[in-house]
Amino acid sequence: MNFGKFLLLWCLVVSGAVQAAPVILVFGDSLSAGYGLQTGQAWPDLLQQRLDSQKQDWHVVNASISGETSAGGLSRLPVTLARHKPAIVILELGANDGLRGLSPDVMQNNLQAMIQLIQRAGARVLLVGIHLPPNYGMVYTQKFQHVYETLAQQQHIVLLPTLLKDIETRRELFQTDGLHPIASAQSKVLNNIWKPLQRLLTKKHES
């Protein structure tokens, strides 16, 4: 790079004309963290690849942790928001609360607190739910699912009712634990995320 180009680039940086791409923060559990997969195979990685291929100027940060509950997510969210300053947060938590039989009311309170923290930080929310296996009983599973629907209506946010839409009953698309999709199914998971996410991507330049 010659001196003239270097000087121009430096002036742009100093003036703020060169800005980092806005951040999409994926804040979830093992379903988003890539449990049992190789690096680069999880759906958040595929999301970055799709955005890049479409020349959409977004940077995906995956802050998901395997085994995370809504309580754990709430405890670490403030620091994560301050660090990454996202424009969009894909909030995918609650599955571990359900699998452990924890109170749906407590989960709802935790998710609501996280949504409010995200909104106060100036970011938009895509809330992602999950369907529990039927062996947890109809009463519990319905109350669990109702949490996501209630929050989406009350907080006026975009909802994907279940991350695993259209693959939940296809055993061949899951790892041996029966809970986590295999690598070849991650593109299907991304497709589920993609449609509701579009509603938020189009607001990129809004204040």
Annotated active-site positions, please?
30, 177, 180
Alpha carbons 23 and 58: distance in angstroms, whole number:
6
Quickly list DSSP for the chain.
Answer: --HHHHHHHHHHHHHT-S-PPPEEEEEESHHHHTTTS-TT-SHHHHHHHHHHHTT---EEEE---TT--HHHHHHHHHHHHHHH--SEEEEE--HHHHHTT--HHHHHHHHHHHHHHHHHTT-EEEEE--PPPGGG-HHHHHHHHHHHHHHHHHHT-EEES-TTTTTTT-GGGB-TTSSSB-GGGHHHHHHHHHHHHHHHHTTTT--
* Interior angle at CA 19, CA 15 and CA 20, nearest 5: 150
Which amino acid belongs to residue 185?
A
